[in-house]
Amino acid sequence: MKYTFDIVGVSQVLQFFNHQQQNLHKPQRQGVEYIATHTCTLDALLESVEPVPQKWNWDKDEVIGTVINFWMQNSDSIRYWKARLIDAGRDNLLVARIADIKALKKELEYLLGGNL
């Protein structure tokens, strides 16, 4: 299985919590998970993603490798999101998405209302 990881934005803590709660009541999107952390560091992201492989029965080493590869190859993006998180203040979170690539493709097809 192949995975993808990306930082998607900065959110207020309550807004992210509400989003996660609303998703509990919707049909589960198999294989797409949104995580959040108060700091933009590799260690914080790895800690946030740690429970995800067990939940979806994913290969933990591949998931961690995907996050590390993102971190190593996207220094400009990381600097940008780190600055946005600092600008937003301490009541905000960095939000990221980890997904099985096939599940993410299905989600995007659903959102776009057709086939990609």
* 92-109 pLDDT per residue, tens: 999 999 999 988 888 788
**Is residue 116 included in any domain, yes or no?**
no
Number of independent structural domains in the chain: 1
| Residue 76 in this model has a pLDDT that exceeds 60 | yes
- Are 6 and 71 a contacting pair, CB within 8 Å? no
**Residue 23, in any domain of the structure:** yes
Whether the model clears a pTM of 0.85, i.e. scores above it, the answer is yes
**More reliable by pLDDT, 69 or 109:** 69
Domain residue limits at 64: 1-110
Whether 94 maps to a domain, the answer reads yes
Determine, yes or no, domain membership for 97. Answer: yes
The answer to whether residue 48 sits within a structural domain is: yes
Q: Does a structural domain hold residue 47?
A: yes
Quote the CA–CA distance of 37 and 39 in Å, as a whole number.
6
Q: How confident is the model at residue 43, as a pLDDT? A: 98
Does position 8 have pLDDT exceeding 80, yes or no? yes
- Tell me if 4 sits within 8 A of 66, measured CB to CB: yes
Does residue 115 belong to any structural domain of this protein?
Answer: no
Of 94, 116, 99, the C-alpha closest to 28 is 99
The answer, yes or no, to whether residue 111 has pLDDT greater than 80, is no
Is residue 52 included in any domain, yes or no? yes
